[in-house]
Amino acid sequence: MAETWPAAAPACDALLAWAGGFNVDFIERNGVGCLIAEEALPTQIEAWLSDPAALAAMQATALRLGRRNGAADIAQRALGLADRARGEVTRSAN
């Protein structure tokens, strides 16, 4: 799902249903995606593509809400936390 946002594409959390929670609520609340069964994915994509005005509105909203390099930013924060934790463990071991 996250990888579709930089391209301003609607998100369909069919394959990532396990993520649930915040992600699904966020995309549905903002009208930029949905949680559907995997077998419904082709029909949903067809519906989006058949309504260019609605698709353009979803894309504009996705552009406004999306975070460029979001995955890289999260990874960088996680590495920073790991470095700090490693430093704290090293100091406490001395």
Is 75 within the bounds of a domain? no
Is 62 within the bounds of a domain? yes
Please tell me the distance from the alpha carbon of residue 32 to that of residue 58, in angstroms, as a whole number.
5
Is 17 within the bounds of a domain? yes
The dihedrals phi and psi of 68, each to the nearest 5 degrees, come to: -65, 135
Q: Is 71 left (phi over 0), alpha (psi -120 to 50) or beta?
A: alpha
Is 77 within the bounds of a domain? no
pLDDT per residue of the chain (94 residues) written in tens, 0 to 9: 444 444 445 566 544 554 556 777 888 889 888 888 888 888 988 998 899 999 899 889 988 887 777 788 888 999 999 998 888 766 565 5
Q: What does the chain come to in residues? A: 94
Is 94 within the bounds of a domain? no
Number of domains in the chain: 1
Is 28 within the bounds of a domain? yes
The model carries a pTM of 0.54
Is 87 within the bounds of a domain? no
Please tell me the distance from the alpha carbon of residue 91 to that of residue 94, in angstroms, as a whole number.
5
Is 90 within the bounds of a domain? no
Please tell me the distance from the alpha carbon of residue 80 to that of residue 52, in angstroms, as a whole number.
42
